[in-house]
Structure formats: structure tokens, C-alpha cells
Amino acid sequence: MAPHRKSRPPSPMGIRTPALATAALTSVALLSQTANASPSEEPRPSLEEVEKKVGDLYRQAETASEKYNAAKEKTTKQKKRVDTLLDDVARRTEKLNDAREELGTFAAAQYRTGASAPDTASLLLADNPQDYFDQTQLMDRLTSRQKQSVDDYVTQQTATTEKRQEASESLETLTRTQSSLKTSKADVQRKLATARDLLSKLTTEEKARLAAIERQKQEEAQRKADELARQQAADAERRRQEAAQSTGTSTGTGTSGSGSVASTAKADKALAFARAQIGKPYVWGASGPGSYDCSGLTQAAWKAAGVTLPRTTWDQVKAGTTVSVNSAQPGDLVFFYDDISHVGIYIGDGMMIHAPKPGAYVREESIYYMPIHSVVRPA
């Protein structure tokens, strides 16, 4: 009789229904795709983000440009000083050699006659002739002519040593400034390259939308300029009437503020120069005649009127009298942003001439296109 075996129920793990098999295969496929998928790309920035980023980069580049301008101006001055000092050292060294040669002649004569030559020779070799001179009785053994030669030698060596030290320190300062100049230049180039890269990735449609945003900004700025023009005209008319009433005549012309005839004439010359530059390209670090940056244009304009302005916006803002925006007159300098990184020359009616930014040209524009920092009257 065959042994009786109890049948075991089939293990649930051994059952493979079509639905479960399909789900398993799908899971494996999804896991495989996830494992093999490349890292997700960064989300594309919105047009508004690009517009803001590019604007910020241009502003940062302009600030770096002003640092470059300051370092360049400082480098030019320091290089002239170093050249002057080195020329002075060369002249003094020549005089020192002449004094040394004369002392050497006396030393040779003393040696031939058996006099105390070692003292004179030691003086020539001494690191500090004055100390050696003070510590010896050499002068007691020298003639009046020899004494004068020793005095000349000591004086020339002391002066030459001082000038050499001064030239060395100036060279070190020049090296540091040149390094700062190089750093500022690289900073400008890096920021402008980033801005160009962002703009190059825009589609045709996005570029059109960006242009529309720019037009909207220009229109709003122009609206504010027109409002200022009306206000200034009303103020001028009010002053004219007040002047007529006080003098009993209506011949007054009225102005938008105080100013002498001489300063007005200078402002007219500065404006005439600025208008002649309209259409020339903005180039950072440029001060004419073929291209300009913002402070390069204002400096050149006032130079044409016989007024010397500093090179950078940070120095130009200190080179005159601060007035209110409502009192701005043609020729005044209008500065922008909290860091005073941009400047234009006021032409009246809320408008200015300025060198705007890379890729743009010298043009007329509302002063309200950017946040105003202050208005300064140079003359």
C-alpha cells in the first residue's frame, strides 16, 4: 500500500497572474528609466528674470567701469611721478659719481704722498658717510677744498639714497594700482559677457517682448519728464510775474534758478559739445573723441566749456553745487543710483544727454529712466 501524502497548498509566491507580471515589468522599466535618466536641466528663466538680470549686470559693469576709470587715472599720475623720480635719481647719481671721483683723486694724491689715504678711502666705501664722518677726525687732516668735496659727497649720497627709496615706494604703489586696473577690467568684461550670453539665448518672440518692456519704461519716463517740464515752466512764469510786479516792468525773462551770465555761457558750450556727440557708441572706459562712457562724456563736455571735471562719477558728484531736481538747469549733471554709478548732462524739460550702456549710443533720454541720486551744477 502506497504511503499516503498530504497535498500542500501552492505557495502564494509561486503564483504569477498576468496582471501582476505586467505590473512587475512596468515597475522594472520605470526604475531602469529613472536610473538611466540624465540629471534634469535647470529651469529656463522667465523673460522678466532675464530682463532684471541683464539690467543688474549692466549696472554692475558700469560700477566696475568707474573703478577702472579711477585706477587708470591714478596709474597715469603715478607713472608720471615714477618717471620724474627715476630721472631725478639718475641726475643725482651722476652728481654723486662726480663727487666720488673727486674724493678718489684726493685719496690717490694722499696715497702717493704717504698721507692718511685709508680714511678717505673708507669714507668712499662707507654705507653711511655721515656717520663715518661724525665718528672720525678726518676733517682735521683735509684742506678746505677737500672738506668741500667731502661735504658735497655726503650731501649727494644722502639725497640720492632718499630719492631712490621714494622711487622704490612709488613703483610699489604703481604696481598695486596696475593690479587694481587689471582686476576692474576683467570684472567689466566678465559681467558684459554674462549679459550678452543671457540675451543670446532669447527667442525672437522673447526679444520682441523685451523690446516692448523697454518701450513701456521709456514712455513712463517720458511722461514724468513732461510733468517736470510743465512744473518748471510754471515756476519760471511765476518768478517772471513776481519780478515784473516788484519792478513795475514785464521785461524779465525768468529762469529756472540762479546763475550768472558767465556760467550760463559755459553751460551752453558744454551742451553744444554733448549734442555733437549724439550717435557715438558707448564704450566703457572711453572719454572720446570717437566713443564715450557716461562720465567720460560729461567730463569732455565741460572741458569744452573750459571747466575741468574729475574722471569718475564719484568725484564729479563733488565738483559743484547740489541743487534740487525741480531747480535743474541746462548743463547740470544728473547722477543716478544709490552707488552714483551713472551720470548724464541735463538739457531741460526733464531730459538729458548721456552715454547709456553697452550696445547703445549717446542719446537724449528722460532723466526718470533711472532712479535719480542728485543734481550738481559744475559752474
**Non-local CB neighbours of 362 within 8 Å, separated by 6+ positions:** 274, 277, 278, 279, 280, 281, 282, 292, 297, 353, 354, 355, 356
Please list, in sequence order, all residues whose beta carbon lies within 8 angstroms of the beta carbon of residue 127, skipping any fewer than 6 positions away: none
373 is catalytic: no
Contact 329, 379 (CB under 8 A): no
Grid cell 623720480 is found at 85
**pLDDT tens by residue, the chain, 379 residues:** 444 444 555 544 444 444 444 444 444 444 445 445 445 556 777 888 889 999 999 999 999 999 999 999 999 988 888 888 888 888 888 877 877 776 667 666 555 555 544 455 555 555 555 555 554 545 555 556 666 666 777 777 788 888 888 888 888 988 998 999 999 999 999 999 999 999 999 999 999 999 999 999 999 999 999 999 999 999 999 999 988 888 765 444 444 444 556 689 999 999 999 999 999 999 999 999 999 999 999 999 999 999 999 999 999 999 999 999 999 999 999 999 999 999 999 999 999 999 999 999 999 999 999 999 999 999 7
- Single out the catalytic residue among 280, 342, 373, 377: 342
- pLDDT at 13 (0 to 100): 44
| CA-angle at 300, arms to 294 and 305, nearest 5° | 135
Residue 43: partners with Cβ closer than 8 Å, 6 or more residues away: none
Number of H helices, E strands in the chain: 9, 6
**Listed residue (285, 336, 254, 292) closest to 376, CA to CA:** 336
Known catalytic membership, residue 4:
no
Cell of 137: 677726525
Catalytic residue among 354, 357, 373, 377: 354
CA neighbor of 310 nearest in space, from 117, 54, 66: 66
The DSSP code for 142 is S
Select which of 294, 309, 347, 351 is catalytic: 294
Read off the DSSP letter of residue 363. E
333-336 and 342-348 as β-strands: parallel, antiparallel, unpaired? antiparallel
- Please work out, in degrees rounded to the nearest 5, the angle formed at the alpha carbon of residue 260 by the alpha carbons of 254 and 263: 115
Q: Please, is 354 exposed, middle or buried when counting C-beta atoms within 10 Å of its C-beta (0-12, 13-18, 19+)?
A: buried
| 342 tagged catalytic | yes
Looking up cell 620724474 gives 84
